[in-house]
Amino acid sequence: MYHHIFFDLDDTLFDFKKSQRFAFKALTEKIGLTDSDRLFHRFEKYNHALWKQLEQGLITKDVLLAQRFPNFFKDYTDHLPADNLDDFFRSQLAVSGDLIEGSISLLEKLKAADKKIYAASNGVYLTQMERLEKTGLLPFFDKIFISEQLGVGKPNSNFFLRCFDEIKDFDLKRAIMIGDSLTSDIQGANSVQLATCWMNPSQLIAPDNYKINYEIQQLSDLENILL
């Protein structure tokens, strides 16, 4: 039975898609642009590609955060506000506080069963901590592991190895990583022989090169695996 439970945050416990849409709409209104929905679909693809580059080590997080909005909006306006667009966007992410259905119920049951619960995220540290606090999830976690603090991100094996080093009496055979990203969560866990559970609500087909121990469509499915 698993005792050490690692959760990705965005699109695993946080409803990141919903929060991101809310934050992007607020940002376009601040800039003075209309047709937020049309722009959002373009931004979503653009932003996803940037985070994939970050996973691959092609860009740094500082570069991503500094450049993504100026580079994206340059095709739509010549008059961007002087203040930091990314700071505003991330403040709106924190405000929205959207959760995947069943997040709190699952964490309550895991805590009652005396499981050790950890966050394992590549997100921005301050933003993730604000969201954890706002949504009421923070007290459930025994430790919060975020790439900025560890100095390395998923899927790099050192992200997980540094997590393991900080956990007292850690037992790899009783540990599992739960996340939605094949290239970040699953690939990274595979690199250190950590058991995996893929959050796959869209029921996508995974390539054969990933070792997936469990696959779920909703968080309530985890009860049969973890409890």
pLDDT at residue number 80: 83
Which among 53, 55, 51, 29 is positioned nearest to 40, based on CA atoms? 29
Q: Give the SS3 label for residue 9.
A: coil
Which among 180, 158, 200, 126 is positioned nearest to 16, based on CA atoms? 180
* Tokens standing for residue 217: 């469509």
Active-site annotation, residues: 8, 10
pLDDT at residue number 83: 77
Percent of the chain with pLDDT over 90: 93
Residues of the chain with CATH 1.10.150.240: 16-96
CATH of domain 4-15+99-224: 3.40.50.1000
Using a cut of 0.85, tell me whether the model's pTM lies above it: yes
**Tens-digit pLDDT string for the chain (227 aa):** 999 999 999 999 999 999 999 999 999 999 999 889 999 999 999 999 999 999 999 999 999 999 999 999 998 988 888 678 999 999 999 888 899 999 999 999 999 999 999 999 999 999 999 999 999 999 999 999 999 999 999 999 999 999 999 999 999 999 999 999 999 999 999 999 999 999 999 999 999 999 999 999 999 999 999 99
Residue recorded with tokens 């919903």 = 18
CATH of domain 16-96: 1.10.150.240
Residues of the chain with CATH 3.40.50.1000: 4-15+99-224
C-beta of residue 196 within 8 angstroms of C-beta of residue 176: yes
pLDDT at residue number 97: 83
